[in-house]
Amino acid sequence: MPKIALLQMTSGTDPLANAASIADAAALAAGEGASMLFTPEMAGLLDRNRKRAAEHIVPESESPVVERVARAAGDAGIWIALGIPVALEDGRWANRTVLFDAQGQVAARYDKIHMFDVELDTGESWRESAAYAPGEQVVTVEDTPLGRLGLTICYDIRFPALFEELGRRACDAVAIPAAFTVPTGKAHWHLLQRARAVEASAFVIAPAQVGEHADGRSTYGHSLVVDPWGEVLLDMGGDKAGLALCDIDPGRIAEVRKQLPSLANKRVIPTSREP
């Protein structure tokens, strides 16, 4: 039975400090028998001050965070899903997950498709699309320690069509790293995570940012692991950063899909047409 680790972080504006925390967690997780470590969205750098952040956001090939985490994966012999902003050739940035295998090689990349452009009643305003380019590819990864893994990021969770495609591809697990705001987290975090697990009949793994950050924002935390039936196997709470482990039973996927074969029963819904 594979064991995974989730790193709940309060990432700051110093990328090297963030990378060191991830490397330390990788060594600890591997020492406890984990085969994969999942980090939150923007684990390598969380800074809403875009002028200051621009000093650290570089192409993936030049990133000291990517280099440090790749080395940590190889040294510990553990897969790592790293959340990090990277610079693109057109001058914009990508909100990216880089997945490293246990040799420290890049196994996959996923750029967040849905941009967080919202204005909340609390006065918080976010315009991710002002600096970030949306991704265009659905990404699944074969032959991870969890089987077929689907990659998503944070706000993607609110768009069922993406998860319908991941279900169509029969993912065994879906990663949803996040930096949820506190108001939206309280309202929707657990609800959405459990719903996506049930819809995909797959494990959902959702490492999250938590607490008060150096850039002034607050994040909700509650890193979760949810099984294919919607049962919460792990909830790290909303108080502090830390590392947690969770056993994943692959047999649970087959049990749920046999008992409730919603993926097999899915039909194409015809679109309505006006007379």
Q: Cite the DSSP H helix spans in the chain.
A: 15-31, 50-53, 64-76, 160-168, 182-200, 251-259, 262-265
CA triple 72-75-80, angle to 5 deg: 45
At residue 66, the 3 state secondary structure works out as: helix
Cα 95 from Cα 178, distance rounded (Å) = 11
Contacts for 248-252: CB closer than 8 Å, 24+ residues apart = 248/1, 248/2, 248/3, 248/4, 248/146, 248/173, 248/203, 249/1, 250/1, 250/2, 250/146, 250/147, 250/172, 252/203, 252/227, 252/228
Active site residues: 41, 112, 154
Neighbours of 96 (CB within 10 A): 25
Are 204 and 224 in contact by the 8 Å Cβ rule? The answer is yes
Provide the edge-to-edge strand list for the sheet that holds 139-144.
Answer: 139-144, 147-151, 173-175, 203-206, 224-226, 232-235
What does the H/E/C string look like for 185-200? HHHHHHHHHHHHHHHH
Positive/negative CA dihedral, 41, 46, 49, 54: negative
Cα 266 from Cα 15, distance rounded (Å) = 44
